Amino acid sequence: MNPFFYSDITVYGFHGCKISTKNKILSGTTTFNASTNAYDWLGFGVYFWENDLQRAFDWAAELHGREAAVIGAKINLGNCFDISNSYAKDILRLSFNELLQEWRTMYLPIPTNKTHPRGKGNPEDLILRYLDKIVIENAMELLSKQQPDIIYDSVRAPFQEGFPVYPGSAFREHDHIHLCVRNPDLLTELFDPDF
């Protein structure tokens, strides 16, 4: 049995990109490219901000300036590795411990998450997730051995990011739920969101 109950649920996600990329994807002349950066937050896949059009646009504007755009998607999460779930955190812990043993045996340095290279934002955010990506990808391999009949189509996680919304607040200005879609067949409908 799949320990995740947040499966086969449909959500809306928003993907920040350039206008030219948006036009090509929506016209069907190209498809999304999966992100393969060493610092990706949730591993290999296509990234979306769950139910947050404005955050997707702000992120795109920071990267692409006046060329910023957003694509909306209706996403069936399929078998979702949901990191807000206790089981997922247990798997991540096992994954890290396995990797730690390997790194120590091979005398390799332990990768670390790092702050923004230009000092932007809250330094506590550690937005370059080198360690987390490796741990998540290893967790996917562990799960494929433990549960060969289940393929995880997406990874989902809540994140705190940015500075407090108001003094003394536990809410941060860029808190969000991030989705990493590993199986592009889950993108059941693409659209041009209204601004």
Q: Which of 42-56, 66-80, 112-126 is predicted least confidently?
A: 112-126
What tens digit of pLDDT does each residue of 119-178 get?
Answer: 888 988 999 999 999 999 999 999 999 989 989 999 999 999 999 999 999 999 999 999
Residue-level pLDDT at 65: 97
Residue-level pLDDT at 117: 86
Residue-level pLDDT at 132: 97
Give the chain's mean pLDDT: 94
What tens digit of pLDDT does each residue of 83-95 get?
Answer: 999 999 999 999 9
Residue 1 has pLDDT above 60, yes or no: no
Could you please report the per-residue DSSP string of the chain? --S-SS-S-EEEEEEEEEHHHHHHHHHTSS-PPPB--TT-SSSSBEEEEET-HHHHHHHHHHHHGGGEEEEEEEEE--SEEETTSHHHHHHHHHHHHHHHHHHHHTTPPPP--B--TT--S-GGG--B-HHHHHHHHHHHHHHHHH-TT----EEEEEE--SSBSSTT-S-BTT-EEEEEES-GGGEEEEE----
